[in-house]
A and B are shown apart, each in its own frame.
Chain A
Amino acid sequence: MRYEVEIGGRRRQVVVTKTGDGFAVTVDGIPHQVDVARIGGHQLSLIVDRMWSADTSLRADPSAGHLIVYVGGTPVTVALNGRGRYGRKADGGQASGPQRLAAPMPGKVVRVLARTGDTVRARQPLVVVEAMKMENELRASHDGTVAEVHVREGMSVEAGALLLVIQ
């Protein structure tokens, strides 16, 4: 089996072949012998090159089409075969293009600090959402003009709900 695995913006060619006592796995041409034991539905204990023990858990990221592989306790965002967007880029942190400000968590809009047509600067607070008893300021990622406002003060919003758009 051949896979294209993208981690941290870098693609790796991974080839997996079943062998007598485990798997031969090459990553970008570098071969490894891997003994793998499944624990439950989503945990794999690996012993790589007959020495290195690695404890992994694999989970889908519900907000995007990629996988999170926990190596020990460290989460690593993984996209296979180029499918799915890679995490950090999906956060709306680009320096150009429209910013679609979405609610990062469900909560109540307690303040809308910008109106359609307003000019805003990077890091300027735009919407205050109250969740978990704290007020969270959601800010502009870059300079621009508010093109659309989709919320009013007092509205409840779901995670991922579009709050406003900056051009």
Chain B
Amino acid sequence: MDPLKKILIANRGEIAVRVIRACRELNIATVAVYSECDRTALHVRLADEAYPIGPSAPRESYLRIDRIVDVLKRSGADAVHPGYGFLAENAAFAAAVRDAGAIFIGPTPAAIETMGSKTAAREAARRAGVPVVPGTDGPLAGSDRQIESAAQALGYPLLVKAVAGGGGKGMRTVTDPADLVDAIRAARSEAGSAFGDASVYIERRLLRPRHIEVQLLGDAHGTVLPFVERECSIQRRHQKVVEETPSPVVSPALRRDVASAAAAVAKTVDYTSAGTIEFLLDEDGRFYFLEMNTRLQVEHPITEMVTGVDLVRWQIRIARSERLDLDPARLVSPSGHAIECRIYAEDPDNGFLPSPGRILDLRVPSGPGIRDDGGATAELDVPIFYDPLISKLVTWAEDRPLAIARMRRALDEYLVTGIKTTIPFFRWLLAQPEFVGGRFHTTYLDDVLKARNGRPFVEPTPRVEEIAAIAAALQMTMSPSGQPAEIGDARRWRAQARAEAVR
């Protein structure tokens, strides 16, 4: 058998590009799928083959198992990489790929089923002897009144979470019992649209915990290896926005404990491929199992930067039944420090509302210690239908202060025009003493954003304003005389201004 000569990537955006790159390096052919609005997307243009799978709405394309399996058969691909999101944690999809005679690059359908259900995963953790956050045993059912009494028994504040969830989607914090029913409705609606499964459960919310998670790789021969933890406490509305590794607060002893707890949970389902066990770390140093993500994580690059292990490459090797022969000690001994900022098409000065539209210029930082995993390009729209992630900007350096300095340098180099992005927000965040000092928890960011009360992140200095005035005036002076200035749709406005200037 000579498996894995051609891989179908059942995803879009930066993660599809990331997987295509790994395939190229292994000399494996790539098959892209795309929705209507993604015809010109980078992943389509980089792949060897590309097939349309329907309209832009995820439910009609990237979530359509039948259409993707149809492309699988037509293209003759022998494996499928699901990326993250969409069908990545859908056991029916993994089974459909297997039934079509191809390899699903990920865990078994049974492991996805168990760990993908957050309630079943909590049970698995309990069996492995790992403490879990108190919460309901199964998905919420029954009347509003029954749910309210279950919530009352658990105590407020609490979290409503999607059973099939991840990435903060389908999650709501409830502090006031009166808000419970509305929060459940909103969470169900979001979960249904994001995961195709609207069921939710509730969990007590710990006060001021940190979010720590352990990357794992498991092979088909019974080896499960944990990696150094990632610190993902910088979250906005339960959505990670900055991740780093190692955590500034985890001691070598705690690292060993968390890593072996993670491996123990994964072994209860004979876990294969890449996965992540998430924990909450209490202020007193105790940790609780939160959930397992049975897929590659968005933030996997930071682990790659401090361990030198290519996780996507290993996913493919594991799918080929190769043995995981990495040195376990190396995986928990990070070299240097890595930080990731998720650059989103959102307007931080307008409540982080999505800012879809056409990217006009895109100049990505580069140079020492920088990695930018992107899926967007200039002259293309950031579509309204999907997560508005433009790229994941990662910096590596010998230690944390240098990695922060490098990130600030990289953010200053990053130029995106045409749409609003979260870059100005990150410039602010990375200058905050709490961030620099590593003193934060999962609600730190929401708290400080609230306290800022809408103060703008973009505050040009007088010097910058003067330069802007000079540039605008020079542009006006130069454009009528020589070559036409191609300032987007400004023609009408410019004509008016010119008339004024001539007067």
Contact = CB atoms under 8 A, between A and B. Distances in A.
Interface of A: 1-3, 5, 7-8, 12, 14, 16, 18, 23, 25, 27, 32, 34, 36, 38, 40-44, 46, 48, 54, 56-60, 62, 65-76, 78, 80-81, 83-84, 88, 91, 104-107, 110, 128, 130-136
B471 A54 contact: yes
A41 B486 contact: yes
Contact of B485 (A14, A18, A36, A42): A42
Contacts of A40: 486
Contact of A3 (B411, B466, B488, B501): B501
A16 B475 CA distance: 10
Interface stretch (B187-195, B276-284, B322-330): B187-195
Nearest to B363: A73
A8 B487 contact: no
A109 B361 CA distance: 31
A25 B468 CA distance: 12
Which 7 A-B residue pairings sit nearest by Cβ, starting from the closest?
A: A41-B486, A60-B490, A76-B468, A69-B468, A81-B500, A56-B471, A60-B488
Contact of B470 (A25, A68, A110, A135): A25
Given A46-B467, A83-B496, A136-B353, A58 B412 contact: no
B223 to A, nearest CB: 36
B467 A71 contact: yes
Interface stretch (B130-138, B333-341, B383-391): B383-391
A105 B384 contact: yes
Interface string B448-470: 00000000101010001111111
A131 B194 CA distance: 11
A75 B476 CA distance: 18
Contacts of B460: 7-8, 71, 74, 76
Pick the most buried of B360, B423, B424, B467: most chain A CB atoms within 10 A of its CB. B467
B415 A57 contact: yes
B474 interface: yes
A84 B500 CA distance: 13
30 contacts: A1-B473, A1-B501, A7-B465, A8-B465, A16-B474, A16-B477, A18-B477, A36-B474, A41-B483, A44-B474, A48-B467, A57-B417, A59-B361, A60-B490, A69-B467, A69-B471, A70-B417, A75-B424, A80-B473, A81-B496, A81-B501, A84-B493, A104-B353, A105-B354, A106-B384, A132-B356, A133-B58, A133-B386, A134-B169, A136-B351
Interface in B333-386: 347, 350-351, 353-357, 360-361, 384-386
A26 B471 CA distance: 12
Interface residues of B, number: 63
B360 to A, nearest CB: 6
B220 to A, nearest CB: 34
A3 to B, nearest CB: 5
A134 to B, nearest CB: 7
Given A106-B384, A132-B386, A136-B354, A58 B501 contact: no
A43 B486 CA distance: 10
B487 A133 contact: no
Given A48-B470, A133-B190, A1 B476 contact: yes
Given A7-B468, A60-B489, A134-B354, 6 more contacts: A3-B472, A67-B493, A69-B472, A104-B350, A132-B384, A136-B353
Q: Is the interface of A mostly helix, strand, loop or mixed?
A: strand
Pick the most buried of B411, B460, B473: most chain A CB atoms within 10 A of its CB. B473
Contacts of A91: 350
Nearest to A62: B489
B467 A56 contact: yes
Interface in B226-261: none
B350 to A, nearest CB: 7
A65 B468 CA distance: 16
Contacts of A74: 424, 458, 460, 464
Contacts of B487: 41-42, 58-60, 67
A67 B411 contact: no
B190 A134 contact: yes
A16 B474 CA distance: 7
Contacts of B189: 110, 130, 135
Contacts of B486: 40-42
Contacts of B469: 5, 7, 12, 14, 27, 78
B343 to A, nearest CB: 11
B28 interface: no
Contacts of A84: 493
Contacts of A71: 460, 464, 467-468, 471
Nearest to B413: A73
Nearest to A5: B469
Contacts of B424: 74-75
A80 B497 contact: yes
A106 B356 contact: yes
B478 interface: yes
Nearest to B354: A132
B22 to A, nearest CB: 26
